[in-house]
């Protein structure tokens, strides 16, 4: 397995490699730009080269880039839809230029529409995006959601619809967020139910579809539909559950990336150390 955290790109994007390396990470996740704004400019080519150089000199084996929050391929608003498609194309190209393996994305909101229409919008957009980025090796990982509002992806039949609907699903994978799936009502505190969840995902989209796990405890209770991340072992999911998850032999090739609170300067190190102890002690 690979283990890491979401790290800041503050300053220069290549400094994120240093931040992950200091923490002893073998995986990392970043936003390639401000997640709450539309693209202002492209990453400088020299910064891209330096990012690649520093990564090669590090122990980082997996890099995931997270899509910004504004993008929505399930929307019924045409202007936002077209702009989101253009942004996705740019983000996939940028992710490939950085040498990152994965682009992680939520599936979007179907506000003022229906889930079926939102899924059709999403599939249609992906066909356009994949055509425009043909030949790039970046996998797009569909992240599950906690189930609030009109967001797609709280149930894995949504993922199945996308995998079945796109022309080329070889470029798709899954990012499984533990806090989100718990909020959506799956009690992964029980080892048998977590294993059943993996069985479900495998049956819906493929046994090797899960490439990244966002390892987060939850401040919100089971079935709350709330997306509220907590420090590992300090939330409603608990250490015992995470011990089973991180030592699950079916996930030995998966990248575990923490998106836990950064409320103190040592928070990332604290959470990583907790996970490492769980791995060291095994099941």
**pLDDT one-digit tens code per residue, 175-200:** 999 999 999 999 999 999 999 999 99
Q: What is the mean pLDDT of the chain?
A: 96
Domain residue limits, the chain: 2-281
Could you tell me the pLDDT band of residue 73, with boundaries at 50, 70 and 90? very high
CA distance 114 to 56: 45
Residue 72 and residue 109 in contact, taking contact as beta carbons nearer than 8 Å: yes
pTM given for the model: 0.96
Helix H or strand E segment including 193: helix 191-205
Position 33 scores a pLDDT of 86
Residue 260 has pLDDT above 60, yes or no: yes
Q: Kindly list the distances between the CA atom of residue 33 and the CA atoms of 61, 65, 153, 268, in Å, as whole numbers in the listed order.
A: 21, 10, 24, 21
DSSP state letter for 109: B
Does 283 have pLDDT greater than 70?
Answer: no
Quick check: 138 and 102 in contact, CB under 8 A? yes
Fold assignment, 2-281: TIM Barrel (3.20.20)
Nearest to 275 by CA among 213, 226, 197, 188: 213
- β-strand pairing of 62-66 with 102-105: parallel
pLDDT at residue 69 in the model: 87
């Amino acid at each position: 397995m690979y283990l890491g955290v979401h790290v800041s790109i503050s300053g220069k994007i290549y400094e994120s490699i240093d931040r992950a390396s200091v923490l002893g990470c073998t995986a990392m996740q970043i936003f390639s730009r401000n997640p709450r704004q539309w693209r202002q400019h492209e990453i400088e080519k020299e910064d891209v080269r330096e990012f690649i150089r520093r990564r090669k000199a590090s122990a980082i084996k997996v890099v995931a880039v997270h899509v910004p929050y504004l993008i929505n391929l399930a929307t019924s608003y045409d202007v936002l839809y077209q702009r989101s498609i253009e942004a996705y194309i740019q983000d996939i190209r940028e992710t490939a230029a950085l040498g990152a393996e994965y682009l992680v994305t939520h599936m979007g909101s179907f506000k003022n529409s229906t889930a079926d229409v939102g899924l059709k919008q999403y599939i249609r957009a992906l066909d356009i995006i994949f055509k425009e980025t043909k030949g790039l090796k970046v996998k797009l990982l569909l992240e599950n959601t906690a189930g609030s509002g009109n967001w797609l992806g709280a149930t894995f039949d949504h993922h199945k619809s996308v995998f079945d609907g796109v022309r080329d699903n070889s470029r798709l994978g899954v990012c499984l967020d533990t806090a989100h799936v718990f909020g959506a009502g799956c009690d992964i505190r029980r080892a048998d139910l977590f294993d059943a969840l993996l069985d479900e995902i495998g049956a819906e989209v493929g046994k090797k579809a899960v490439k990244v796990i966002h390892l987060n405890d939850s401040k919100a209770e089971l079935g709350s539909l709330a997306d509220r991340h907590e420090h590992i072992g300090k939330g409603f999911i608990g250490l015992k559950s995470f011990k089973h998850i991180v030592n699950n032999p079916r996930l030995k090739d998966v990248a575990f990336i923490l998106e836990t609170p950064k409320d103190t300067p040592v928070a990332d190190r604290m959470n990583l150390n907790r996970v490492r102890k769980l791995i060291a002690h095994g099941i």
